[in-house]
A and B are shown apart, each in its own frame.
Chain A
Amino acid sequence: MLEIELDGKLMQVAEGSTIMDAASQAGTFVPHFCYHRKLSIAANCRMCLVQVEKAPKPLPACATPVTNGMKVWTHSDAAVNAQKGVMEFLLINHPLDCPICDQGGECQLQDLAVGYGASESRYQEDKRVVANKNLGPLISTDMTRCIHCTRCVRFGQEIAGIMELGMIGRGEHSEIITFVGKTVDSELSGNVIDLCPVGALTSKPFRYSARTWELTRRSAVSPHCGLGSNLTVQVKQNRVMRALPRENEAVNECWISDKDRFSYEALNSEKRLARPMLKRDGNWQEVEWPVALEFVAKELQRIKGTHGAAAIGALATPHQTLEEMHLLQKLLRGLGSGNVDFRLRQADFSMDGKRAGVPWLGMSIADINTLDRVLVIGSTLRKDHPLIAQRLRQAAKKGTEINLLHAVDDDLLMRIANRAIVAPALLPQTLAQVVKAAAEMRSVAVPEAVRAVVVGVAVADAAKRMATSLTSGQRAGVFLGNFAEQHPAAGELHALVQALGEILGCAYGFLGAAANSVGGYVAGCVPGGRVPGKNARQMIEAPLKAYLLLGVEPELDMHNPRQATAAMRQAELVIALSPFQHRATEYAHVLLPIAPFTETAGTYVSTEGRVQTFAGVVKPLGETRPAWKILRVLGNLLGIPGFEHDSAEDAQREALHGKSEIFNKNNKLSNTLGVPPAAGGGLLRIAEVPIYAADALARRAPSLQQTRDAQPPVATLNRALAEQLGLQPGDLVRVVQDGGEAVVPFAIDDRLPADCVRLATGQPETAGLGAAAAPLTVERVAQTQKVAV
């Protein structure tokens, strides 16, 4: 510890601290612009100049290390004089267009100008004007306002992992710019809006729609990925205007992904379902709630009467709240059916009945930063878990070895120590090699549960390198991504990871696809227990008579969209609860408008098992009702006991058995798993869910849908396969799977494994295709006409 005197007060600070650190510790505010505690130090704005004893000139607090016995004055005349001098320089070329600037009211320059600026400018020369830049659909620019603090540049380089913004030119001609003709496409790009201390970078969707002081700030939790980012949702006249990060160092730090930030646009979408609708004589009619609910209750009773309760099934998306999922399963079980599930994209359910507890991340999110060896299996980290990827990126920078076992080799914008990119069908086999090698290196026996699949494999170099990496560290972590969780041999992957965890003595778990992927289990929204039931896949493979869809869009959300659509079409009754109008109008019999996350109270259990409860921030739109209330009334109408909840809290208490944060998080599987049948030959499809196709909100957020990540699907294959198919540039390909087809453009990616076609799922263009991982055929479609220039 060092002893210093700050503004006349003695204090102890840790060695290696800067004056800024010391001031923060003392609760003293030193004005600054370029400094940000999550970014490297640039010391370029010079606003934090302070007086230091024996220093001939003022020193920047952000960049000056503290030395023992140092005396610092942050607000002395000399310090303030220097700070005021800098403020004057910052303002001379600043347009001072605060009245028309979106940043007005939440602008660091504006705020500090009150304290350090003069009321009148001494600058009588012409002011600089800087041309605006097109950064894409999310970020709006007014570059004349830029004060060149380079926070946005450093964010790209250091946090997002990609330098999409940089400063060109020198002196007064310096400008922040993208690479020529490029936009800012990072999935974390919106954070530069928060970082920009002036109005140079502002939100494009929010532009000119409200002043910050008109907005009410309410807390919320992100409904998208498993991280459970904490949000501040800003509201004006009962309309969500903006979503911002709410700082939580243990979860999202001070960041959020673009999906968290811009999906709110869908809340105000014209495609919102505002009134209950009933299909009468083939026509959709708006009806009052009692009419709709009575219809639902009556029809459910009828189906139960004619076909038995087991002919009724309920599906929920993993983005529904804990309360909703709890009441859904309670309703179904009350009806006498055990057919309830939220694991819509899962293909392999062999783990059910063998789980020791609720599957989860296996550690806290913050613990990710402490790992020194990591194995990620089946994850396109950046697009599936933008901020977990960010944490791993920071860890990798500090020397953590990241090992990747996956079917695609997208640039994760971090150093990957070892990688094995193999066809999806070879994932378990390759993982088995790692297990075998690790066991040999640690001189331990391969755990019994997987011995049968491990003993026979020949360990290839890549697996050996990974095992070497994993066994050489102090703290390893093994993670299964969405692709692994949705893999046809997910159970085998799970068992192998468990074995690897035992060998390494390390934590392992699931990155968690959605906001409530853990919560669904906690709520019991899965088959099992007293009333036997079918899982999501079985409910589709052997179609039921009635489906209750809680937020589900079967053609986009299910593992096998073709089969799912067919199941819906043949059903006698489809009850669709959704905040949006969607394709259910083609097969549903009743549409019930339910509240999205901003219009209802609810709870998400994040991938680390964090229970996060939120209240609605605006009143439900039109006749929309929170789903928990609808389910409760249905329970009453159906005469099922135990539906007396007065509030979401009641439902939450019931779901958590009154123990707010305690449930059995445990990834362990008991018993030996059966070896799944080997995949057949032919071409295999690699189907992932694109970042902005993953849930109903993101799909309907217009700005996100204009980004590069929201492009229509393209079939990607390696050069050898393209040549084999005789594909020419500009060709389309016809992809046929399970009798369904999609005609899409193609692209070449030589990092893809042989005989694989990468074609995303979750998009309308591919909704006619079959199971995500099923074999497919591809053929060339005539070359598109080239327009002569």
Chain B
Amino acid sequence: MGLPIPPFAVDLFGPDAVIMKGVNGLNWRLQDYVARGGYAGLKKILAEKIPPEQIVNELKKSALRGRGGAGFPTGLKWSFMPKQYSGQKYLVCNSDEGEPGTFKDRDILRYNPHSLIEGMIIGGYAMGITVGYNYIHGEVWDVYERFEEALEEARAAGYLGANILGTDFSFQLHAHHGWGAYICGEETALLESLEGKKGQPRFKPPFPASYGLYGKPTTINNTETFAAVPWIVVNGGDAFLNLGRPNNGGTKIFSMSGDVARPGNFEVKLGTPFAKLLEMAGGMRDGRKLKAVIPGGSSMPVVPADVMMATDMDYDSIAKAGSMLGSGAVIVMDETRCMVKSLLRLSYFYYEESCGQCTPCREGTGWLYRMVDRIEHGRGRAEDLELLNNVADNIQGRTICALGDAAAMPVRAFIKHFRDEFQYHIDHKKCLVAPYI
């Protein structure tokens, strides 16, 4: 498959796209962005001297929720930033997109980087912040380089730097790349890494809004969240809200991967049925039957096919289906997939990516992985499934950051929905699915 080769059709990301609208893979430069109406929001704010609170209020109205995975209301987060704080405050963009299955932020950075830059500048204006950083995943190097280029363009055009567009508003934005550690996508580990330290999450409280980068008040948002901000500023919060559903405003980019005919990113209105999204991705590959979907990135619970086909793609609906929208990474699995082997791959990932700081995750992820590995390789024991569940229970909710939960939730969900397959592995020392492929 590989990446789509530019120029591609401008509706590659779907007809309802907002962030990725009009993007063809080549038109990522500043002039193209401006031609598509880019930086209009920023100009409007500066020309009309729109009060910062008004921007935050629009965001609250828009029901824009954090696109990185937690889904926290963005307007509310921005309102946490202390207004009267006299020292330096920071704005940080989390482009450390490492969640297995997620590949949307890199497309924003690759094909429409100025949407993020504008979104961050507006964020700086709205929260009275003068310095921002974009922490970019270290394993997509071309994206980092392109973003540096885009920053240069924005600086040269006067959108970024001191006295933006001749006003007294200044905002400096810097790119920073990580080296590929999954944990650095956790916002406080990201801050540590940005400070030049080992990427290990901090315990909260205090939250970044009061003690963030270099101990200063800091707001951290995901790439896609920032990229949606210019549209909201131009079109208003209500318009964004109305794209989606109440409490689930706007569009969302879903990264479709797995056993679909046309994997890729699709930006759809929140509330779009999963079936519709699957259709956009060309349906199931080779006409096979859908078995299960992980709807929000590898950390989220797996959902069986029948439940998923009846679910709409928004925060609340997916929660009702027993999982989470997360980062919007939709991993589609067909009938030939062995669920034990799938879980083994996930468990190995969390075992490898645990930072090792706190006990349950450091010790528990290895234990989970080794047990699943035994089951997969015909050395399962009768008590293993209970033990797996119990160990997952002992990890979940007991760690400093969410990586522990991320390791535990797939285990519980896979066993819950596909217990028979695991039991078969244990009882028969072989796979239930593999013989049929």
A125 at the binding interface (Cβ < 8 Å): yes
**A702 interface hit (Cβ, 8 Å):** no
CB < 8 Å: which of A58, A122, A173 contacts B398?
A58
- How distant is A152 from chain B, measured CB to nearest CB, in Å? 15
Whether A56 contacts B363 by the Cβ 8 Å rule is no
> In the complex, A362 Cα to B362 Cα: how many Å?
51
- Whether B356 pairs with A46 at a CB distance below 8 angstroms is no
**Does B351 sit at the interface, judged by CB under 8 A?**
yes
- In Å, the complex CA distance between A125 and B394 comes to 18
Shortest CB–CB separation between residue B383 and chain A, in angstroms? Answer: 8
Residues of A within 8 A of B203 (CB): 41, 43, 60, 63
> Shortest CB–CB separation between residue B177 and chain A, in angstroms?
19
Q: Mark A395-425, 1 if CB is under 8 A from B, else 0.
A: 0000000000000000000000000000000
Asked if A93 contacts B363 (CB within 8 A), the reply is yes
Contact of B359 among A57, A128, A147 (CB under 8 A): A147
Query: Which residues in A have their C-beta under 8 angstroms from that of B353?
Result: 170-171
Please determine whether B398 and A44 come into contact, CB atoms closer than 8 angstroms: no
Q: Taking the complex as formed, is A782 at the interface, i.e. its CB lies under 8 A from any CB of chain B?
A: no
Secondary structure call for the B interface: helix
User: In the bound complex, what is the Cα–Cα distance between A170 and B393 (angstroms)?
Assistant: 22
Could you give, for residues 186-212 of chain B, a 1 whenever the CB lies within 8 Å of some chain A CB and a 0 otherwise?
Answer: 000000000000100001010000000
* Bound-state Cα–Cα, A43 to B361, Å: 13
Main secondary structure of the interface of A (DSSP, over half): loop
Q: Looking at the complex, which of B74-82, B310-318, B366-374, B420-428 is the stretch in contact with chain A?
A: B366-374
CB neighbours (8 Å) of A63 from chain B are: 203
A742 interface residue (CB < 8 Å to B): no
Q: Is B365 an interface residue (CB 8 A)?
A: yes
Interface residues of A in 55-70 (CB under 8 A from B): 56-58, 60, 63, 65
Interface residue A89 (Cβ < 8 Å from any Cβ of B)? yes
Residues A5-36 near B (CB distance < 8 A): none
Q: Assess whether B364 is interfacial by the CB under 8 Å rule.
A: yes
With A and B bound together, what is the CA distance between A92 and B365 in angstroms?
12
Chain A 102-127 interface 0/1 with B at a Cβ cutoff of 8 Å (1 = within): 00000000000000000000111110
Q: Inside 8 A of B357's CB, which chain A residues have their CB?
A: 44, 148, 174
Contact B359 A125 (CB under 8 A): no
| Bound CA–CA A41/B400 (angstroms) | 12
Q: Which residues of A contact B371 (CB under 8 A)?
A: 125
Kindly provide the distance from the CB of B267 to the nearest chain A CB, expressed in whole angstroms: 33
Within 8 A of A (CB), among B333-383: 351-367, 370-371, 374, 381
Q: Is the CB of A44 within 8 A of B367?
A: no
State whether the Cβ of B322 lies closer than 8 Å to any Cβ in chain A.
Answer: no
Residues of chain A lying within 8 A (CB to CB) of residue B319: none
A126: chain B residues at CB < 8 Å are 370
Decide if A305 is an interface residue (CB 8 Å cutoff). no
Which residues of the other chain, A, contact B398 by a CB distance below 8 angstroms?
A: 46, 49, 57-58, 82, 85-86
Check if A503 is an interface residue, CB within 8 A of chain B: no
**Are A46 and B358 within 8 A (Cβ)?**
yes
Is A88 part of the binding interface, using a Cβ–Cβ cutoff of 8 Å? yes
Query: In the complex the two chains form, is B356's CB within 8 Å of A167's CB?
Result: yes
Contact of A90 with B by CB under 8 A: yes
A residues in contact with B365, CB < 8 Å: 171-172
Chain A interface category by residue count: 35 or more
A123 near B359 with CB under 8 A, answer no
In the complex, whether A45 has a CB less than 8 A from a CB of chain B is: yes
Collect the chain A residues with CB atoms within 8 Å of residue B381's CB.
Answer: 124
Q: Report whether A45 and B387 are in contact in the complex, using a CB–CB cutoff of 8 Å.
A: no
Interface residues of A in 106-159 (CB under 8 A from B): 122-126, 128, 147-148
A125 touches B356 (CB 8 A): no
Is there an interface contact between A172 and B356, defined as CB atoms closer than 8 Å? yes
**CB distance B397 to A172 under 8 Å?**
no
Residues 390 to 437 of chain B near chain A (Cβ within 8 Å): 393-394, 397-400
Complex CA gap A82/B359 in Å reads 12
Given that A46-B399, A125-B370, A170-B181 are contacting pairs, would A89 and B363 also be in contact in the complex, using a CB cutoff of 8 Å?
yes
Whether the pair B360, A172 counts as a contact (CB closer than 8 A) is: no
Q: Is B400 touching A43 in the complex (CB atoms < 8 A)?
A: yes
- Cβ 8 A contact of A46, one of B351, B355, B360: B360
- On whether the beta carbons of B360 and A171 are closer than 8 Å, the reply is no
CA distance A45 to B357 in the complex (A): 8
Question: Does A169 sit at the interface, judged by CB under 8 A?
Answer: yes
Find out whether the CB atom of A89 lies under 8 angstroms from the CB atom of B359. yes
User: Nearest Cβ in chain A — how far from B356, in angstroms?
Assistant: 3
Residue with the greatest number of chain B CB neighbours at <10 A, chosen from A46, A65, A128, A171: A171
Q: Would B359 and A172 count as touching, CB distance under 8 A?
A: no
Q: Which of A86, A170, A173 contacts B360 (CB 8 A)?
A: A86
A148 touches B356 (CB 8 A): yes
Are A171 and B351 touching (Cβ within 8 A)? yes
Inter-chain contact B400/A44, CB cutoff 8 Å:
yes
Distance A49 CA – B397 CA, assembled complex (angstroms):
10
Q: How far is the CB of B409 from chain A (nearest CB, A)?
A: 13
CB distance from A717 to the nearest CB of B (A): 36
Q: Are A44 and B359 in contact (CB under 8 A)?
A: yes
Give A43 to B202 CA distance when docked, in angstroms. 9
The CA of A172 and the CA of B348, in the complex, are separated in Å by 12
Give the docked Cα–Cα distance between A122 and B398 (Å): 19
Contacts A56-B397, A170-B181 given: A89-B360 contact, CB under 8 Å? yes
Q: Closest residue of chain B to A168, judged by CB?
A: B198
Asked if A172 contacts B358 (CB within 8 A), the reply is: no
| Bound CA span A173–B374, Å | 21
Q: What's the nearest-Cβ distance from chain B to residue A126, in Å?
A: 8
Cα distance, A43 to B181, chains bound together (Å): 22
Name the residue among B198, B362, B399 with the largest chain A CB count within 10 angstroms. B362
Query: Inside 8 A of B387's CB, which chain A residues have their CB?
Result: 122
Q: Does B359 contact A174, Cβ atoms closer than 8 Å?
A: no
Given known contacts A44-B358, A49-B398, A172 and B205 CB-to-CB distance under 8 angstroms: no
User: Are B356 and A171 in touch, CB under 8 angstroms?
Assistant: yes
Complex: A174 Cα to B363 Cα, angstroms? 11
Could you tell me if B356 and A173 are in contact, using CB atoms closer than 8 angstroms?
yes
Q: Is the CB of B366 within 8 A of A172?
A: yes
Task: Let me know if A86 and B359 touch, CB within 8 A.
Answer: yes
Interface residues of B in 34-62 (CB under 8 A from A): none
Contact partners of B198 in chain A: CB under 8 A: 167
Chain A contacts for B397, CB-based, 8 A: 56-58
Minimum C-beta distance from B152 to chain A (A): 34
Q: Which residue of A lies closest to B206 (CB)?
A: A65
Q: A710 CA to B364 CA in the complex, in Å?
A: 45
Lowest 7 CB-CB distances: which A-B pairs, in order? A57-B397, A174-B356, A85-B394, A171-B354, A89-B363, A125-B370, A43-B203
State the A residues within 8 Å of B (CB): 41, 43-47, 49, 56-58, 60, 63, 65, 82, 85-86, 88-90, 92-93, 122-126, 128, 147-148, 167, 169-174
Given contacts A125-B374, A171-B365, 15 further A-B contacts (CB under 8 A): A45-B358, A46-B359, A85-B360, A89-B362, A89-B363, A89-B364, A125-B367, A128-B366, A147-B359, A170-B181, A170-B353, A170-B356, A171-B353, A172-B351, A172-B356
What are 19 A-B pairs with beta-carbon distances under 8 A?
A: A44-B358, A46-B359, A46-B398, A46-B399, A60-B203, A63-B203, A82-B398, A85-B360, A85-B394, A89-B360, A89-B362, A89-B367, A92-B363, A123-B367, A125-B374, A167-B356, A171-B352, A172-B366, A174-B357
